[in-house]
Amino acid sequence: MTSSTDTEITLGTGKLLFLFFFLVGICSLFFALGYSLGRKSDGITTASAASAPQVSASAAKPAVGDSAQQPPMSFYKSVEQKDANSELAAPSAEAKSETATQTPEATSQPAATAPPSGGYFVQVAAVSKQDDADALVDALKKKQYPAFVSSGSGTDKFFRVQLGPFADIKDAESQRTRLISDGYNPILKK
């Protein structure tokens, strides 16, 4: 008969603590390495975005803040972009020539207006920034929606992006259904 030569390894408290702190040290080393590389790559992206030439969509709109640093893209401005990396891409020569040939009326941002009276409206969003409302209206107009910005009363600081007015509730409901299929969450208002 053969005897089994199983051995039992017993680790004392000191060895277990050493093993534990050794593994914690290795994990913290890799965490610090990943953190520093991530911070450096974010700085490279920011530096390349800052050194890219700035192209203004509207010559009538004054620049706010430092002109060397581009503000982050808002949600509604990113909605109208065709691809995810278009914020970093330089505009093509064709797009530059189209912008140059447009009239000043075509390049100006739509202004907030008082809501037309009567009928039904479909409200797409209520936002606190005029730029976000204008960008959403532009995106909706590109999709052939009759969109406009409605500013609230003096105490109300929201800009409402609405469609309409519609004389019949069925027309308003059909526009609302179309907006839902396009990924928006609109509401019907009278």
pLDDT digits (tens, 9 = 90+) for 101-134: 444 444 444 455 555 667 899 999 999 999 999 9
> What count of other Cβ atoms lies within 10 Å of the Cβ of residue 31?
10
User: Average pLDDT of 93-100?
Assistant: 49
**Assigned domain for 154 exists:** yes
Is 60 exceeded by the pLDDT of residue 80? Answer: no
User: What local confidence, expressed as pLDDT, does residue 190 receive?
Assistant: 84
Q: Please tell me what DSSP assigns to residue 165.
A: E
**Assigned domain for 60 exists:** no
Is 51 within 8 Å of 100 (Cβ atoms)? Answer: no
**Assigned domain for 162 exists:** yes
154 pLDDT band, cuts 50/70/90, is confident
Report the relative pairing of strands 120-127 and 147-151 from DSSP bridges: unpaired
**Type of residue at 95:** A
Q: What is the 3-state secondary structure (H, E, C) of 84-122?
A: CCCCCCCCCHHHHHHHHHCCHHHHCCCCCECCCCCCEEE
**Structural domain boundaries enclosing 166:** 109-189
**Nearest-5° Cα angle at 40, 36 to 41:** 120
Residues contacting 54, CB < 8 A, separation 6+: 67, 70
User: What local confidence, expressed as pLDDT, does residue 71 receive?
Assistant: 59
**What predicted TM-score, i.e. pTM, was given to this entire model?**
0.42
Share above pLDDT 70 across residues of the chain, in percent, rounded to a whole number: 58
75 pLDDT band, cuts 50/70/90, is low
Place of tokens 């797409």: 124
On average, the pLDDT of the chain sits at: 74
Kindly report the CATH number assigned to the domain that includes residue 162: 3.30.70.1070
**Assigned domain for 53 exists:** no
Q: Please tell me what DSSP assigns to residue 5.
A: -
**Assigned domain for 148 exists:** yes
Is 70 exceeded by the pLDDT of residue 56? Answer: no
**Assigned domain for 73 exists:** no
**Assigned domain for 54 exists:** no
- Number of domains within the chain: 1
User: What local confidence, expressed as pLDDT, does residue 60 receive?
Assistant: 44
Among 121, 119, 112, 116, which residue's Cα sits nearest to residue 158?
Answer: 112
Backbone angles phi, psi at 162, to 5 degrees: -130, 160
**Assigned domain for 137 exists:** yes
